[in-house]
Amino acid sequence: MPTSQLLHESHVWFVVPESICTRSKLDYFQSILSAQEHERWQRLHFDEDRHRYLVSHAMVRELLSCYADMQPAEWQFETQAHGKPEIANAIDHPLRFNLTHTAGLAACIVHLNGDCGIDAESISATRNPQGIARRMFSTDEQDRLLQLAGRQQLEYFFERWTLREAYVKARGTGISFPMRKLCFDIAPEKDIRIHFQPDINDCPSDWHFRLLRPTEQHILAVALHSGPNPAPRLVVREYPEYFD
Ligand SMILES: CC(C)(COP(=O)(O)OP(=O)(O)OC[C@H]1O[C@@H](n2cnc3c(N)ncnc32)[C@H](O)[C@@H]1OP(=O)(O)O)[C@@H](O)C(=O)NCCC(=O)NCCS
């Protein structure tokens, strides 16, 4: 896949980890993990978590190799101050990526030049949306959440939660960022705007957001920083289907 495609596009790849189960594929995935990834993978206690970790991290390696002349096992990553991994290899283009994984889904965004973040959550009724919103949402968003109930409330919560996470993952700050100082406007046709309280040093028009529903059970948010340039077109693909 030519990297030049990323001049005007950003690519989101998603996978249902359980859909990958052939022994030969999983053996191959293990063979391309770094020693450090292998160690983290082996430390995970539950089979489901181990499987998701293996598929997610091998997927990142295989995907990145579509965009640069590098074998999947050769990718090296360095961890930024708050844990965000970035590519450490010397490559021709400033490729950026971000990974998310949750029960039943993993997804990776690949972007050129700017910061990018991605977050997926399974819409689960077991969370405590109101409690989390009190700590993490703006007062307007909290008020709106309280007016909703049932599935509508959960969807409202997870849309705003994943957008926040995608934004802080793009910036690389993790949840040390004061999330209550952000607010999202989501128009019915899903045009999404971010607003900051005045003490946040960032420019809303530099950011582009998208909400996706890769499965009935998952909400996925993407945050892209493009500065004064127009928003790249978002191309969404299912990972194993493209490679099979
Ligand atoms: C680590 C954090 C950046 C994302 O956590 P998360 O939503 O649980 O995790 P995701 O699956 O979306 O992303 C994890 C991946 O993001 C990347 N990542 C790690 N730290 C990161 C950072 N500071 N910025 C961007 N990406 C980061 C890594 O590739 C990581 O994968 P790995 O752990 O397998 O190496 C952080 O924001 C966090 O801890 N969030 C709180 C999660 C939470 O409370 N969820 C409740 C939901 S209701």
Distance 100 CA to ligand 1 centre (A): 7
The angle that helices 129-136 and 139-147 make with each other, rounded to 10 degrees, is: 160
Tracing tokens 């059970």 back to the chain, one arrives at 217
- Where does the pLDDT of residue 244 fall: very low under 50, low under 70, confident under 90, or very high at 90 and above? low
Contact 225, 206 (CB under 8 A): yes
Q: How far, in Å, is the centroid of ligand 1 from the Cα of 191?
A: 25
pLDDT in tens, 184-232: 999 877 689 999 999 999 999 999 999 999 999 999 999 999 888 888 9
Cα–Cα distance for residue pair 214/219, rounded to 1 Å: 7
User: Hey, what long-range contacts does 201-209 have (CB within 8 A, 24 or more apart)?
Assistant: 207/167, 207/170, 208/232, 209/163, 209/166, 209/167, 209/184
Q: With H, G, I as helix, E, B as strand and everything else as coil, classify residue 162.
A: helix
Per-residue confidence band for 125, with pLDDT thresholds at 50, 70 and 90:
low
Residues with CB under 6 A from ligand 1: 53, 82-85, 98-102, 119, 121, 127, 132, 161, 165, 168-169, 172, 174-175
Q: How far apart are CA 225 and CA 126, in angstroms?
A: 33
The pick from 135, 165, 176, 218 for probing ligand 1's pocket by mutation, whose C-beta has the most ligand atoms within 8 angstroms, reads: 165
Closest atom of ligand 1 relative to the 129 alpha carbon? 48
In this prediction the pTM is 0.95
Ligand 1 center–CA 95 separation, angstroms: 20
Q: How confident is the model at residue 176 (pLDDT cuts 50, 70, 90)?
A: confident
Residue 166 and residue 117 in contact, taking contact as beta carbons nearer than 8 Å: yes
Domains of the chain, CATH where assigned: 3-243 (3.90.470.20)
Q: pLDDT at residue 127 above 90?
A: no
